[in-house]
Amino acid sequence: MDDDGQAERELLRLIGRGVSDSADRLAKISRTEWVTQTVSISMAPLAKFQGVLAGDAEEHFGAHFTLPGGVFLVMIPSRSGPAFADAFLPASKKHPEGVKDRERSSLAEISNIVVNAVAAVVADACGMALMLSAPEVSHGRKADLLREAREMVSSSGEKSVVMAYVHMSSEALSSDCSVVVLMSEAWQARLFAALE
């Protein structure tokens, strides 16, 4: 068994565990029980995922989190925005209008919880700190959001992507989302070395 193959499997396992851990954090914020289940997870060169996503025309919200050598990206279908906003930032009698731009704000917060749960599990296993930026929320097709992520990594060379398809549900809503980790060659090598 080669070391890179073992490190890749361990990285995928850790990301899946982080996604699962995020359910407890989501529950604390929304005071609702959540289930986050990784439906599938895989790793491949960036070009492969760009080709796969090119045919997906559905609009998504995307939350990008940068760190040296990589980007975390959470993509949630736009059609799920109102339900997530109602779950996390409901209007009240005191503020009937609710929070300004509730959908973007709630999706930024949900993405922040999921990404930080994943990053914490990976960082602990690798014995390193992962310093993430605040989320930058944008809107578009998955291929466009992934292109934006690629442009946020300044280093040259081949980029690899871990793509996790996740199902999130609570009593009030159910939605699929994608959690993406885009890595430069150098960052991937550091992670794999730490996991080996």
Average of per-residue pLDDT values in the chain? 87
Residues 150 and 166 sit within 8 Å (Cβ to Cβ) = no
Instruction: Give residue-wise pLDDT tens across range 15-35.
Output: 999 988 888 888 777 777 878
For residue 96, pLDDT beyond 60: no
Single pTM value for the model = 0.89
What structural domains does the chain harbor?
A: 2-195 (3.40.1550.10)
Q: What percent of the chain has pLDDT over 70?
A: 93
Using left for φ > 0, alpha for ψ between -120 and 50, and beta otherwise, residue 31 falls in left
Residues 137 and 63 sit within 8 Å (Cβ to Cβ) = yes
Tokens 């070009």 belong to residue: 47
pLDDT category of residue 1 using cuts at 50, 70 and 90: very low
**With helix as H, strand as E and coil as C, how does the chain read?**
CCHHHHHHHHHHHHHHHHHHHHHHHHHHHHCCCCEEEEEEEEEEEHHHHHHHHCCCCCEEEEEEEEECCEEEEEEEEHHHHHHHHHHHCCCCCCCCCCCCCHHHHHHHHHHHHHHHHHHHHHHHHHCCCCCCCCCEEEEEEHHHHHHHHHHHCCCCCCEEEEEEEEEEECCCCEEEEEEEEEEEHHHHHHHHHHHC
As a residue count, the chain comes to 196
